[in-house]
């Protein structure tokens, strides 16, 4: 029976700068020939990429946070290796992780921009959505390949690569993977069933608002002070992964919007008998939710946009340095040693790929406009932005593990709108054109950030760069098809952005896409803009920056409904106390507690998101009603909300005890 070579320990100089004349020798030496590109690694990589793409799309549209798929997939890759007589090699696991990890990056490019077209009632064809993502994703990979050697080899030990470090440690110490993968799948299944039932059928209340308590109901009616809680596993897991500080900041934004600004608008405007712009009905006739949608959400939009501008400003040094790197890209490519671990796709192949991608971009723009100059300018903008922002994203991910996607996309929309307006593009055609361009650029820079993480992981472990690069294109196509079809399905089952009059479908807030929609609409149409509300949000973001509080997280909390922020806070507190327990235990056991908490939380996120998507699929079935499954107590608010609180507490207990319980020696 053939067995794979076990993963070896990383060399002592894996994370430190190399001395003069010193070289880095990965655990799998260049002379070794291990299984790498196999049907097993490619098949599992594509499957996991599709599954996590679907989950990430729902996650991003619901709460504005895209799932980080690479680490859970690396754990699953090791666990899946145990299904075969020959254990998968560490290089096969790198391939699985590299393909699957593209899920979150392609999704970020798609859901930050393309749902804006649905909000604008420009409903794109699924093929257009898929082609936009494929073109952008391929450009991101193609433009990063010439930079690979600079970022992963020349800068060895000089850039921290936080996410790549975590993935490498998981793959290098892979014997933990069996128990970890089992735990991840268990949490995924539990949250998937739980969230599917509660969001799809009338089993118990999804939202807890305590309106059955007279004092709470009176406060809501008289002062428009409403507190609510979305008791699902997905947001619980999200809050845990975010941690206590970030979840507190997120919830603080929601508190400001819902418990301060909404009551203020009500107090000032309740005597008005006419509608005050931008709302369409008098404030006196509005509910707390109506005031939030009609006024306060615009303040959140201004705060998010300003936070994105601050993100750009903070990245100026990285941007400037990255431009220089990009311009030297092809000279860097001449330093190849010819060894297996330093072998990239040929430069001619890269150039052919760029030409083909450019033609695809031109075809997309040609379907939107018949003006040759506008099409040519769109292609040039897409290529230039993708080329330079690719190096920006790679540098940012390697430095702080944060990709400035929102800020760079907003910058793309602003510059593209200003340029294309000069070529006569405006109105709905101009909006579609700009959002398609922004979708490509956003996908390119998002994919390049994930790719540089994967390339660094492969460098540390001894993968073949050319092999990693080839499968990236498979992952881009798989993720693009999955996210394109998922967005179409969700657009039919839900409303994006905010509720439209007369539309009874549930709402997915889609915060980033809503910002992009407001931005492009402001440039491409002559509709009035709520400058005062946007300006108030901008001022709040400035205050947050002055207080050294992450403005973007706070702004997201302001924009999202409060019921999506409060359960995240519960997850944050659990993360805090489980972290304290792990530090108290210390050593290996404390490390296991910390690892198990993150794994269970990741499973709750993945399972909850998949359950939500499955529920969206049910809504497309002819004759579907939530009453297909209905419990006798569902209509009783007191009992139904009490059951919801009790079961959510059970999820919290599962997360707590699953993390801190003692494990068998074989699982260590």
HEC profile of 430-448? HHHHHHHHHHHHHHHHHHH
Location of structure tokens 């929609």: 517
d(CA 608, CA 563): 16
* Domain residue ranges in the chain: 39-175+340-496
Dump pLDDT digits (tens) for 622-662: 778 888 999 999 999 999 999 999 999 999 999 999 998 87
The dihedral through the CA atoms of 201, 204, 208, 211 has a sign that is positive
Dump pLDDT digits (tens) for 587-623: 778 888 888 888 888 888 878 877 887 887 787 787 7
In sequence order, the 6+-apart residues with CB closer than 8 A to the CB of 131 are 360, 363, 364, 480
pLDDT computed for residue 330 by the predictor? 47
SS3 38: coil
Q: Which one, of 227, 368, 360, lies nearest residue 289 by Cα? A: 227
pLDDT computed for residue 440 by the predictor? 92
Above 70 in pLDDT, residue 322? no
Contact predicate 644/268, CB 8 Å: no
Location of structure tokens 């994919």: 447
What are 452's two structure tokens? 């540089």
Give the pairing of strands 495-496 and 507-508.
Answer: parallel
pLDDT computed for residue 443 by the predictor? 92
Facing residues of 630 across strands? 202
d(CA 623, CA 628): 10
d(CA 465, CA 548): 40
Q: Which of 148-162, 315-329, 341-355 has the highest mean pLDDT?
A: 341-355
The model carries a pTM of 0.76
Dump pLDDT digits (tens) for 489-513: 888 888 888 777 777 788 888 877 8
Backbone angles phi, psi at 659, to 5 degrees: -80, -45
Q: Which one, of 226, 153, 139, lies nearest residue 480 by Cα? A: 139
- What letter would DSSP give residue 114? T
Residue 410 exposed, middle or buried by CB count within 10 Å (0-12, 13-18, 19+): buried
pLDDT computed for residue 495 by the predictor? 86
pLDDT computed for residue 665 by the predictor? 42
Asked which of 185-199, 241-255, 290-304 is least confident by mean pLDDT, the reply is 290-304
Mean pLDDT in residue range 6-28: 77
In sequence order, the 6+-apart residues with CB closer than 8 A to the CB of 245 are 572
Contact predicate 434/416, CB 8 Å: yes
Dump pLDDT digits (tens) for 218-230: 888 888 888 889 8
Contact predicate 223/645, CB 8 Å: no
Which DSSP helix (H) or strand (E) runs through 610? helix 587-619
Dump pLDDT digits (tens) for 300-309: 878 877 886 7
Contact predicate 299/536, CB 8 Å: yes
- Measured between its terminal Cα atoms, the distance across the chain in Å is 26
In sequence order, the 6+-apart residues with CB closer than 8 A to the CB of 668 are 176, 588, 592
Residue 666 exposed, middle or buried by CB count within 10 Å (0-12, 13-18, 19+): exposed
d(CA 604, CA 194): 10
Give the pairing of strands 229-230 and 207-208.
Answer: antiparallel
Mean pLDDT in residue range 423-440: 86
In sequence order, the 6+-apart residues with CB closer than 8 A to the CB of 253 are 300, 303, 553, 554, 555, 556, 557, 558, 559, 560, 565
Mean pLDDT in residue range 553-558: 86
pLDDT computed for residue 163 by the predictor? 75
- What letter would DSSP give residue 74? H
Q: Which one, of 504, 481, 483, 403, lies nearest residue 445 by Cα? A: 403
């Amino acid at each position: 029976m053939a067995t794979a070579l076990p993963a070896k320990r990383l060399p002592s100089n894996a994370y430190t700068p190399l001395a003069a004349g010193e070289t880095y020798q990965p655990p799998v030496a260049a002379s070794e020939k291990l299984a790498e590109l196999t049907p097993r690694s490619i098949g599992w990589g594509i499957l996991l990429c599709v599954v996590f793409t679907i989950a990430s799309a729902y996650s991003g549209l619901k709460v504005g946070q895209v799932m980080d798929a690479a680490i859970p997939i690396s754990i699953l890759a090791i666990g899946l290796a145990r299904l075969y007589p020959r254990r998968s090699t560490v290089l096969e696991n790198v391939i699985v992780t590299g393909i699957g990890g593209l899920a979150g990056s392609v999704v970020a490019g798609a859901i930050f921009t393309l749902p804006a077209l649905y909000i604008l009632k420009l409903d794109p064809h699924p093929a257009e959505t898929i082609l936009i993502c494929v073109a952008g994703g391929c450009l991101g990979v193609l433009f990063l390949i010439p930079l690979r050697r600079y970022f992963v080899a020349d800068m060895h030990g000089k850039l921290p690569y936080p996410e790549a470090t975590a993935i490498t440690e998981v793959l290098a110490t892979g014997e933990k993977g069996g128990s970890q993968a089992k735990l991840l799948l268990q949490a995924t299944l539990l949250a998937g069933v739980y969230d599917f039932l509660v969001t799809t059928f009338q089993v118990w209340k999804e939202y807890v608002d305590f309106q059955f308590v007279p004092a709470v109901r009176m406060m809501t009616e008289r002062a428009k002070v409403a507190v609510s809680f979305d008791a699902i596993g997905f947001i619980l897991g999200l809050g845990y992964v975010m941690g206590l500080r970030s979840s507190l900041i997120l919830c603080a934004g929601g508190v400001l919007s819902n418990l301060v600004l909404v009551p203020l608008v009500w107090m000032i405007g309740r005597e008005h008998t006419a509608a005050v712009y931008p709302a369409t009905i008098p404030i006196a006739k509005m509910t707390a939710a109506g005031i939030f949608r009609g006024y306060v959400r615009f303040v959140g939009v201004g705060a998010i946009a300003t936070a994105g501008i601050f993100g750009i400003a903070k990245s100026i040094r990285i941007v400037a340095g990255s431009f220089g790197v990009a311009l030297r890209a092809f000279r860097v490519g001449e330093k190849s040693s010819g060894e297996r671990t330093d072998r990239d796709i040929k430069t001619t192949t890269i150039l052919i790929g760029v030409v083909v991608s450019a033609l695809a971009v031109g075809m997309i723009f040609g379907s939107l406009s018949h003006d040759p100059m506008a099409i040519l300018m769109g292609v040039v903008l897409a290529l230039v932005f993708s080329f330079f922002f690719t190096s920006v994203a790679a540098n940012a991910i390697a430095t702080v593990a944060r990709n400035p996607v929102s800020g760079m996309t907003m910058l793309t929309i602003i510059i593209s709108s200003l340029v294309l307006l000069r070529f006569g593009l405006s109105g709905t055609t101009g909006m579609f054109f700009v959002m398609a361009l922004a979708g490509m650029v956003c996908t390119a820079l998002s994919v390049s950030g994930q790719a540089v993480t994967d390339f660094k992981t492969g460098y540390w472990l001894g993968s073949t760069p050319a092999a990693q690069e080839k499968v990236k294109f498979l992952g881009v196509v798989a993720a693009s098809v999955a996210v394109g079809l998922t967005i179409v399905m969700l657009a039919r089952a839900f409303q994006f952005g905010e509720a439209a009059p007369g539309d009874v479908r549930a709402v997915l807030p889609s915060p980033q896409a809503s910002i992009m929609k407001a931005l492009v609409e402001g440039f491409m149409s002559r509709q009035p803009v709520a400058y005062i509300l946007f300006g108030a949000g901008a001022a709040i973001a400035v205050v947050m920056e002055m207080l050294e509080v992450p403005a973007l997280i706070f702004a997201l909390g302001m924009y999202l409904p409060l019921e999506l922020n409060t359960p995240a806070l519960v997850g944050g507190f659990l993360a805090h106390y489980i972290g304290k327990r792990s530090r108290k235990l210390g050593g290996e056991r404390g490390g296991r507690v910390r690892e198990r908490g993150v794994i269970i939380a990741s499973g709750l996120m993945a399972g909850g998101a998949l359950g939500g998507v499955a529920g969206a699929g049910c809504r497309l079935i002819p004759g579907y009603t939530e009453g297909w499954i209905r419990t006798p107590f569902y209509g009783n608010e007191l009992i139904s909300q009490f059951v919801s609180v009790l079961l959510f507490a059970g999820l919290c207990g599962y997360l707590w005890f699953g993390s801190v319980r003692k494990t068998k020696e074989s699982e260590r």
